Amino acid sequence: MMKRMISGCWLVAVACGMAYAAEPEPVVNYDESKAGNLPLPELLKTSAGQTVETADAWIKIRRPEIVAMFERHVYGKTPPPEAWGKVEWKIAGIKRDALGGLATRKLVHVSLPGHPAWQGMDVMLYVPNKRTGPAPCFAGLSFNGNHAVSDEPDIPLSARWMREDKTGGAEGNRATELSRGKELGRWPLKMLMERGFAVATAYCGDLEPDHADGWKTGLRAALSPDGAKTVWCDGEWGAIGAWAWGLSRIADCLESDPDIDSKHLAVIGHSRLGKTALWAGACDPRFSLVVSNESGEGGAALMRRDIGETTAIITKAFPHWFTPTYARYAGKAADCPVDQHMLVALIAPRSIYIASAVDDRWADPKGEFLAGLDAEPVFALFGMKGYGTTTQPPPGKPVGDAIGYHIREGKHDLTEYDWQQYAEFAKRRFGEEK
């Protein structure tokens, strides 16, 4: 966790062109008695002061208000379809005996003919060969590219910007052969194929390289009317918005694929990509399940709790992830009109699973648990049950009905144990929806 914090500070130093020594040490609190637990904004009271008592009033009045507030204050507004125009999909390859015959692997290149400055996104889809019908699918972005998610040697190495990697997986900000399969531990493809799930993924850097200037060569610059913006304004989208847009384009691909059961799409992400999965799920109702793996601050963790990473820390280290407005709440969480339980609530009446890890105190596991608990009144409007408990369960004891939760032993990561819970949960929730 210390390492995660330090890397954040290092980024600040690079982004601002300052020496690290000039940065004051961020004060990080881990003492629950000092968490503050400020009162949360009201979920079920409209801006006109009316109490929301029905699912209909939630859908028609309160939900759109909350979406607009997240756009304005946290993630920024995703440009409408007119802004990006035609989307083109080109099949770049199909391999029917992938993963030792367990799966069919499809590579699809997504581009915007009207915006050639964007180099497009390479989607990789694995569909289980053994199945009785179209497969439900998990869709999520990776940190290092498709060639890192799977170790199959014929997947093209991503040619995009990569974060430098001490183990030699990236040199001069380009992937090397050493990064093949680097994220395999986070993507148990074989286990998922055996359980009948398809998996769709793409590299987040195809949408926007993850650094302060990444937008200049990513989707955001390509779609901005002047193409050469220097300043992003309050309410305009950040990298999380661009990444989430990519997840929705993956959903487009999946919807058009007869091998996929597009009524049962789960969007998943770890950490910064967990924040992204939550925002994608909030914006795109085609994701019938949203999985937040240790998404922390700016994800599932309540911002009004001062534990681990705070708004002040995250907006300093990673300002490009959010709309500029968000940084104004540094040290002033109580002034923000939303908190993250409202983001979780936007997923209703679909299903959501939130997961934490014991040693991931930076992400505030309790704050992640509480966001789900505090979202329950909205699920209740739809007759849906949440955790079934108000107490955070012990490690290794998952809880929940339409809102699932677990905390596991260990560090910040996406592990096979986590995926097993997601697969079980998806099987149950999707089965109930059939």
Question: Do 163 and 85 meet the contact criterion of CB atoms below 8 Å apart?
Answer: no
Closer residue to ligand GCU in complex, CB, 185/285: 185
The nearer residue to ligand GCU, 8 or 372, going by C-beta atoms, is 8
Q: Is 8 among the residues that bind ligand GCU (CB under 6 A)?
A: yes
Distances (CA, A) of 151 to 9, 156, 179: 32, 11, 9
**Residue 264 annotated among the catalytic residues of the structure:** no
Q: For ligand GCU, which residue of 309, 360, 376, 418 counts as binding (CB under 6 A)? A: 309
DSSP classification of residue 260 = E
Interatomic CA distance for residues 3 and 65, integer angstroms: 38
Q: Return d(Cα 295, Cα 280) in angstroms, integer.
A: 13
Q: Which is nearer to ligand GCU, 304 or 350 (CB)?
A: 304
Structure tokens at 423: 């697969």
Stretch that binds ligand GCU, among 219-227, 309-317, 371-379, 400-408 (CB under 6 A): 309-317
Instruction: State yes or no: residue 209 binds ligand GCU (CB under 6 A).
Output: no
Q: Which of 314, 338, 370, 426 binds ligand GCU (CB under 6 A)?
A: 314
Scanning residues 127 to 166, which ones bind ligand GCU (CB under 6 A)? none
Query: Per CB under 6 A, does 206 bind ligand GCU?
Result: no
* Smaller CB separation from ligand GCU, 52 or 291: 291
Task: Identify residue 237 by its one-letter amino acid code.
Answer: W
Residue 102: exposed, middle, or buried by beta-carbon count in 10 A (0-12, 13-18, 19+)?
middle
Cα three-residue angle 138-235-379, rounded to 5 degrees: 45
174 binds ligand GCU (CB under 6 A): no
Cα separation, 127 vs 387, in Å, equals: 31
| Residue 271 is among the residues annotated as catalytic for this protein | yes
Judged by beta carbon, residue 219 or residue 301, the one nearer ligand GCU is: 301
Binding residues among 315-354 for ligand GCU as defined by CB under 6 A: 317
**Percentages of the chain per state (helix, strand, coil), in multiples of 5:** 40, 20, 40
Window 223-282: residues binding ligand GCU (CB under 6 A):
271-272
Please give the positions annotated as active site: 271, 412
Q: Which residues bind ligand GCU (CB under 6 A)?
A: 4, 8, 271-272, 296-297, 309, 314, 317, 362
